[in-house]
Structure 1
Amino acid sequence: MTLLPSLTCLESFECVARHGSISRAAAELNVTQSAVSRQILQLEELLDVALFERVRQRVVITDAGKIYLKDVNRIMIDLKDSTSKIMACGGSPSILNLAVLPTFATQWLVPRLSIFLRKNPDVTVNFATRTTQFDFETEPFDAAIHYGIASWPGAVTHHLMDEDTVAVCSPKFQAASRIKKPADLVGTTLLHQSTRASAWAEWFSVLGVDNSHPLRGPRFEQFSMIAQAAACGLGVALLPKLLIEDELASGKLSLLFSHSVRSANAYYVAVPESKISSPFVTAFTHWIVQESKSAAPSVIRKSHNSSKKY
């Protein structure tokens, strides 16, 4: 006896569960209602568990059905992803699955990726967003862009670049707020990155500016959101300069001061130990390390030990 249900049965089960109706599921799947009913019955006989209860003209998923549905949804999504990946690469074994930080990818990595692809035309690069460390043994990635410290269990990390943060806002906001020096930011609307709640407090401390309320202000989940908010005149943002080069060049954002604060963390590329001998993973790692060195941000830095008051 096989414990593997047919894909047709799983599709019917998922569709009926989503609609709560056999007739609607049949219409979506372009089959008859009796065909859907037979497939559900076959699945229930295989599992020896009732997946639905028939209530008047509706079908209601059982508790067992809800448990099974979670796994079925996950399997179906994984199967669709695997199918699309193999279709996208045309059968090539040189697929590089990258876990990336969203703003770093869109603002820094993607604009430079054509350089890598010209040197490695047979490699297909896939992107997925991950903002925290994960287990490479359970996630199907060949490498990850990581912000933090040079440590990742089960992986080798390579330093890409440090992060220097600068204070920026729109030119109109700067003019209207009459911002001339760091102390002028006290009482100004400060825009915060939700995972770096203390960034402004540290910035004021480094520059020797007294601000009793450095944590006040709206919070945003991603740097790209903060950059857009600052460009729209919602306040002053503290952002990594390497992620806003375009906005500074276009004039959407103004660099308020020459001072910057270097973070204790940095950007790394992390490669799982099982992938360190992969030729195309090695090629990508070598390329991004070299590219990061040549594209190191040029920022005038202010000493962390400054005691000057502004």
Structure 2
Amino acid sequence: MRRRLPTLQALQCFEAAARHQSFTRAAQELALTQGAVSRQVAALEDFLGVPLFRRTRHGMVLTPAGADYARQVRQRLDALERDTADVMGRGGVGDSLTLAAVPTFATRWLIPRLPRLAARHPQLQIHLETCTRPFMFTDTGIDAALWAGTPQQVQQWAGTTATHLMDEDVLPVCSPRLLPQRQPVTPQGLVQLPLLQQSTRPEAWRDWFEAQGVQAPRAMAGPRYELFSMQVAAAIAGLGVALMPTLLVQQELSSGALVVACPRPLQARRAYYLVQPQGPERAALTVFKAWLAAVARDAPGAVQVPPGAV
């Protein structure tokens, strides 16, 4: 059956015009005349039967339908561009996967292990994007996501299945100069120190203090950071104590840039999962998932505190 689709040039002209809110700047970007861009957008509107722009005294603006369509078209064009570059780069040899991952886990745990994957499967290329929250796989070109969350959160991720990789332990860490006499403190002593907060886990410190049986009225107070890597940098700078997954700060603990502020690890409510859309599984994902599960099983125990870190 013939697909009912507008031309690629019409979509490119519309996306550029929507992004710039200007036919003139879209024409400059695409090396076309303003009239050519205008005609392509008009043809697209005729094809859709929907106005995408409306003119005002100050120029032109997207209609609500145009704004929504522009977002969808931009995602599809970006994915098509990535797929094209991928095929060109591989020269038709091998396969690839596009994975979304929580950033710090990707940089500190996954990427250092990818050379082992490359040695076993040299024809498999891994492309990485960042994600911190669930998303709809149908809106992206992403094959799977490496994500940290609670079992309940994973179950609520619509249209997906998840493979458990490893549980997560968290531990208070900080710069050694933040501690009195550079010695670890008790949970009660930690109440007096500035606490760094993770914006995606606002109750993490409260849970930790409750597990220690300590009253901490200001457990949720303190500067907030979206990424664990930001928290690591803030902790090294001496801004406060970070409650970090132990597997993400082994390098800093080994080097002495961070020390354990209180040697009371806690198994967090969260774990790491490989999340994928429901439905048939690509052979490349099957290979990657088997390798990842084996690496996760062989990973060191959740709590690794190097000698001298406390």
User: After TM superposition, is the score higher than 0.5?
Assistant: yes
Match of residue 295 from structure 1: 299
Distance verdict in 2 for CA 1:89–1:176, change over 3 Å: farther
Alignment equivalent of 2:250, drawn from 245, 267, 276: 245
Alpha-carbon spacing, 1:185–1:121, altered in 2? closer, same or farther (3 Å)? same
Give 1:58-207 correspondences, 5 Å limit.
58-62=59-63, 65-92=66-93, 94-134=95-135, 136=137, 139-147=140-148, 148-149=150-151, 152=155, 156-175=161-180, 180-207=185-212
Identity of aligned residues (%): 40
Displacement of 1:222 in angstroms is 1.6
Quickly say closer, same or farther: Cα 1:224–1:2, change in 2 above 3 A.
closer
Amino acid at match of 1:288: L
Kept in 1, the 8 Å contact 2:199–2:226? The answer is yes
In structure 2, the residue matched to 1:27 is 28
- Aligned AA (1:195): T
Give the partner amino acid of 1:229. A
Q: 1:97 to 1:17 in 2, by over 3 A?
A: closer
Give the alignment's TM-score, normalised by structure 1: 0.81
- Corresponding residue for 2:235? 230
Conservation of the 8 A alpha-carbon contact between 1:275 and 1:281: no
Classify the secondary structure of the residue corresponding to 1:128: strand
- Residues 138 and 72 of structure 1, relative CA distance in 2, 3 Å threshold: closer
The answer on whether the counterparts of 1:258 and 1:300 sit within 8 Å (CA) in structure 2 is no
The C-alpha deviation readout for 1:218-255, integer Å capped at 9, x for no partner, is 22112111111111110011111101111111221111
**Residue in 2 that maps onto 1:42:** 43
Q: Deviations over 1:148-167 (max 9, x none)?
A: 22854665544322211111
Question: 2:14, 2:180 → 1: CA distance?
Answer: 61
Distance 1:273-1:73 versus aligned 2 partners, 3 A rule:
closer
Q: Considering only aligned residues, what root-mean-square deviation do their CA atoms show, in Å?
A: 3.2
1:268 maps to 2:269:
no
d(CA) in 2 for partners of 1:275 and 1:83? Answer: 23
Q: Can you list the C-alpha shifts for 1:268-310, whole angstroms capped at 9, x where unaligned?
A: 334555355x443233222222222322236379xxxxxxxxx
Which amino acid in the other structure matches residue 25 of structure 2?
Answer: R
Q: TM-score, normalised by structure 2?
A: 0.81
Per the TM alignment, residue 196 of structure 1 is displaced from its structure 2 partner at its CA by: 2.0
**Secondary structure class of the residue paired with 2:164:** strand
In the alignment, the residues of structure 2 paired with residue 132 and residue 117 of structure 1 have an alpha-carbon distance, to the nearest angstrom, of 28
Distance apart, 1:103 and its partner CA: 1.2
Equivalent of 2:221, from 216, 219, 224?
A: 216
Instruction: Find 1:285's aligned residue among 271, 286, 289.
Output: 289
Q: List runs of 5+ in structure 2 lacking aligned partners.
A: 306-310
Deviating beyond 6 angstroms after TM superposition, the runs of 4 or more aligned structure 1 residues are: none
Partners of 1:11 and 1:108 in 2: CA distance: 38
Answer yes or no: is the 8 Å Cα contact 1:158–1:268 preserved in 2: yes
Output one character per residue of 1:102-129: Cα deviation in whole Å (capped at 9) or x when no partner.
1111110111111011100011112222
Pick closer, same or farther for the CA change 1:161–1:65 going to 2, 3 Å. Answer: closer
- Pair 1:35–1:121, CA change in 2 (3 A): same
Q: 1:73 to 1:180 in 2, by over 3 A?
A: closer
Query: SS at the partner of 1:144?
Result: strand
Distance 1:2 1:46, change over 3 A: farther
Runs of 5+ unmatched residues, structure 1: 302-310
What SS is found at the alignment partner of 2:145?
strand
Q: Which moved more, 1:187-196 or 1:285-294?
A: 285-294
